[in-house]
Structure 1
């Protein structure tokens, strides 16, 4: 990772073909906060929707959750799409992008929502944001 100031913002993304969950955290506090869920028809539309978030939060680092490698052709395609998303973010915003294992981030987010009495379709919009929080927690744990 490049030399960074002592305190800086980090944006994390839980990429999905339909929605992208976004969370923000601070390098000093290391507490992720859900921000929003982005939808869009195309990857270009999703990246365009990220631009005002980058402008507002001025992150020094971006984190993208990616599943572990699999032999499943559909999962391989998703992994490649997510890696492409990360490359596009890095190129568009000239920021370092860290890929973090996202396995079980959605199930962890779902269990947190279940504990709060939020079930089924009611979880839909919040699930991706909380999964992004889980991804950011993994990032913080790996960069003490």
Structure 2
């Protein structure tokens, strides 16, 4: 009988072929029992006397010289939304409105003053209709800068309007020579004094509002 060896494929004396080594089986890892709870170490806190006091402290930081590290303070973004401009007279109120970006003022309408203050209701309705974010009321002053009866009337009108339009701010702006400027502009467009009567108040409101919009852009 031919002699056999474990690493041979045939009898002694014939060509032998070495078999590849069989890798050992991987170790069997113990499977975790999903039903077995996993414990995480925690720390016990005694809350028998209640929660510890919560302290809210703030610190004031002076940014007048810029942000820390010399970073400049970013400019304030201009408020978005339409603005309403008013030229308040004893008989009529000229109304102007801006575009949504607050860049250009345009005439809107003329509202006649009324004893029952229905003119204030009409302007409040315009604020709501056009989703106005600010109202600008011209405050007529003398060339010297002093205020007279017309300025007091404009301030009283602004206060009365502010009570009707809620959180929409009302600003008083100096309107010296606004009517004169408006009349000159209308004459330059070929309108005489008789034709100006229907639109002079609106044109004055445009001058007031446009001056305010330009000043706001310069500040930002």
Q: Scaled by the length of structure 2, what TM-score is found? A: 0.58
Alignment equivalent of 1:105, drawn from 178, 185, 195: 178
For residues 68 and 126 of structure 1, the distance between their equivalents in structure 2, rounded to whole angstroms, comes to 22
Q: Residue 4 of structure 1 contacts residue 60 of structure 1 at CA under 8 Å; is this kept in 2?
A: no
Deviation, 1:64, is 0.2
For residues 128 and 88 of structure 2, the distance between their equivalents in structure 1, rounded to whole angstroms, comes to 20
Residues 70 and 112 of structure 1: is their aligned pair in 2 closer, same or farther, counting only changes over 3 Å? closer
What is the DSSP-based 3-state SS (H/G/I as helix, E as strand, rest coil) of the residue aligned with 1:13?
strand
Alignment equivalent of 1:88, drawn from 157, 160, 163: 160
Deviation, 1:129, is 0.4
- Aligned partner of 1:19 in structure 2 is 92
- Aligned partner of 2:200 in structure 1 is 127
How is 1:61-80 mapped onto 2 (pairs within 5 angstroms)?
Answer: 61-68=134-141, 76-80=148-152
Structure 2's unaligned 5+ residue stretches are: 1-75
Residues 64 and 31 of structure 1: is their aligned pair in 2 closer, same or farther, counting only changes over 3 Å? same
Aligned Cα root-mean-square deviation (Å)? 2.4
What is the DSSP-based 3-state SS (H/G/I as helix, E as strand, rest coil) of the residue aligned with 2:87?
strand
Q: Residue 70 of structure 1 contacts residue 76 of structure 1 at CA under 8 Å; is this kept in 2?
A: no
Q: For the pair shown, which has the larger CA radius of gyration, 1 or 2?
A: 2
Deviation, 1:33, is 0.6
- 1:142 aligns to 2:215 (yes or no): yes
For residues 79 and 6 of structure 1, the distance between their equivalents in structure 2, rounded to whole angstroms, comes to 27
Structure 1's unaligned 5+ residue stretches are: none
Q: Which has the higher contact order (CA 8 A, sep 6+)?
A: 1
Greater strand proportion: 1
For residues 10 and 47 of structure 1, the distance between their equivalents in structure 2, rounded to whole angstroms, comes to 16
Work out the number of aligned pairs and report it. 140
